[in-house]
Amino acid sequence: MRPDQERFARGLWLEGLVAALATLSVAWPLTNLLREDTWVVPAVLMVALVALSGAVLRTLDVPPTAVALGQLFLGLAALAGTYLRETLWRGVVPTRDTLELMGSLLAQAGSVLQTYAAPAPTTQGVSFLVVAVLTLTAVSVDSMGVTGRAPASAGIPLAAGFLVSVSNTGSAMAPWYFVVVAAMWLLMIVQQGRRMTTAWPSANRQESRGGSDVSQGPRTHRGLAQVAGVLALVASVLGAAALPHLPPTFFGDGLARNQDARTPGSDAGDVAFTETMDPAQDLRNQSRAPVLSYRVRSGALQPLRVTATQRFEDGRWEAPERRSGDLLPDDAPLPDPPGLREDVPVTSAEFEVLGNELEPPHLATPTPVTELRLGGTGYRFDPGDSTVVLEGAVESYQADYLNLASGGELPAGIGDAAADAGAFEEDLLALDPVSQDAVASLTDEVVGDEQNALLAAVLIQDHLRTDGGYSYSLELEPAAEAGTDDPIGGFLETQQGYCVQFATAMVMMARHEGIPARMAVGFLPGTTQPDGTRQVVASDAHTWPELWIDGLGWTRFEPTPGLRAGSPPSYALSTEPADDVTPSTAPVPEEITPTPEPAPEPDPADRSWTDDVRDLLPALGRALLALLALAVLLTLLPLLGRRHREAGVRSADGPRARIEGQWLLLTRSLEDLGVTAPPPRSPRLMHRHYLAGSTLGTPGEEALERVTATLERSRYAAPSDLSEAEADRMGEDVRTVVDAVRHTCPWNVRANAALIPRSGLEGLREGTRNLFRR
């Protein structure tokens, strides 16, 4: 083979091309997940850059680790130049603005992927995320499958990328997507197998005897293997099509649910709070698909309650465990609202749903409901939290509910009597033990000596809604995130959150005052349509506290400020009653403030993305120190290994000593590559040892024969017969033998020899012993 052909073969150009095509085949299904194809050209260019740079570096015989690092560096640099160019200093060096822009793009991508169904809009953030992931996938596949000579392992990143695409389509993937990826992966394996077999020395020896090339294999076995591979691929495709399919699973809840769940203008809607008890994801939903279409025939508007929960554990609200009750027929009367005194002035109102997309068993109605007409569908009623549980889906239904009479006054004594703790479940009065001290301190300050439960509740509501300086935001500070050590205390300290944090804080403050409390989950009243009906979408999701007030029973309050909250009910408006007069009501508002068109939430005024990074600096510092120590070790060991291997050559005095030093260099270099050193025997026996223990190829075998011949002359010929030129030629032959063995070793052996060589460890031990001796 000519030198230029040998260099081309060393670069593994064809293998790199197949690896790049395999990476792009993984990205093919993304064309169904994203609406615009603006990401395609940058992705192809990045993958091509990774493949080309890897082939060039391998042609230059750069160590495998350096090849992978070079590909990664070039890929990230090109990615930054494409998407972050305006923030780079002199167009090259990343700055603080680069980190902020990258964080903004990733946050934008996360919002889109959690909000929309496939096909989702390809924003700049989504394009950046997709191209970045494909760039890293290309580096992984090329490093493992080409540079590392382990194409089977390259199937891991290929499968990971493919499964992300497949599991987010919402429907079964067409079989040709899988066929293309599988074919590319199998082609990588075939290429590697053919290259390995052609490098076997037995192939050339077989040809020299007139036999067939071993790389071709026995025709019958070779053909059988090919047929078996093709049949396995066909069977996997046909078998998958014939077997029943389970619903796809997903990494988020945007591209995830189905084709229509998050698509603007679609005819279906979906919400997540029924399982999580937290509407944060729904509040970010930009879909205008109606979840509910309804009209109120009489009475004031109210939030539409779906469910309620009273258990707060480990920083989260737990979904309720529904009690089993008797199945009630349609039009069956519902129990009277518990705790509502007969002298409280109320009026009946009518509520009619024209279109319902909520999945059973959930139903949305104002409260308290007195009658349901579901069109023949049966239901169960859970008296524990006054929740209707459907048996099946209903497209339309009607309900009657109670409203406090407009302009009416509450009778005397409402809220005076304290709740009997023994009459309520323990969860309704349980305080979060982690935040108990913070809640108690704030509640005592806000409520003071007030004994009336209704007035105490209004004081708590007003503190959170208007008086305490709290602000509405979907972006929580880290201390207030659900699942942290103390999310309630974190919210009270940061004073920033959305409806869940405000409702949770009021529930806990009320419980501290001995008032049973729970959190209700449902929707705001939605927006009025041209035909007079109202529409509720997923982003109208809302939570609010329900407190047990003597004389009123379970009573709604509204502590959440801002546009994404309703007005407080009339009985919860601030009042300053005289000593002998009970609090009176203001007129019931005609309409609770509707949710406006979803708009981007304002960024927190006092924090930025870099502030969060700054909070992580101590942990990042420790991680960087550990990485620095590892980098120093991985840099030091190869240097010590080289010094240890070349020790005999450096200390040589004369041709004979140099030849012995070159032989020592050979044995130690091959030990790093997993070839055991021969016992101290004659050069010819040691030659046979290396032939049997390694795969060299013709050039390597010829070089090994010259090395052992030179060693034999050095040991048995007269010193005057040796020359410096022989020692120089032996050094070249030693390098040829080592390179031949290295190119036939698995990628992990080569990586270990480059980063953590055995000779490096020996050199480290030897240096440590010498240091202690001194």
Closest CA to 84 of 72, 97, 74: 97
Closest CA to 129 of 154, 144, 112, 116: 112
CA distances to 487, 529, 535, 639 from 594, rounded to whole Å, are: 28, 12, 10, 70
What is the pLDDT at residue 258?
A: 39
DSSP 667: H
Q: Which two tokens stand for residue 220?
A: 């019958």
Q: Cα separation of 470 and 446, whole Å?
A: 14
- Give pLDDT < 50 ranges for the chain: 1, 170, 202-222, 237, 239-254, 256-269, 575-605
Give the architecture (CATH level 2) of 421-527+538-614.
Answer: Roll (3.10)
Beta bridge partners of 328: 379
What is the pLDDT at residue 228?
A: 55
What is the pLDDT at residue 231?
A: 57
Are the CB atoms for 272 and 253 separated by under 8 Å? yes
What is the pLDDT at residue 617?
A: 64
Task: Classify the phi-psi angles of 335: left when phi > 0, otherwise alpha if psi is within -120 to 50, otherwise beta.
Answer: beta
What is the pLDDT at residue 397?
A: 93
Which residues are within 8 A (CB) of 127 and not within 5 positions of it... i.e. 6 or more apart?
Answer: 38, 39, 42, 83
pTM, whole model, 2 decimals? 0.49
What is the pLDDT at residue 22?
A: 87
CA distances to 212, 273, 372, 379, 513 from 393, rounded to whole Å, are: 72, 18, 14, 11, 41
Domain ranges in the chain are 3-200+214-242, 291-404, 421-527+538-614, 622-773
Beta bridge partners of 89: 93
* pLDDT tens profile 226-280: 555 555 555 554 544 444 444 444 444 445 443 334 443 344 446 878 878 888 8
The amino acid occupying position 772 is: F
Percent of the chain with pLDDT over 90: 25
Q: Which two tokens stand for residue 524?
A: 């705001």
Q: Which two tokens stand for residue 643?
A: 């010094």
What is the pLDDT at residue 584?
A: 36
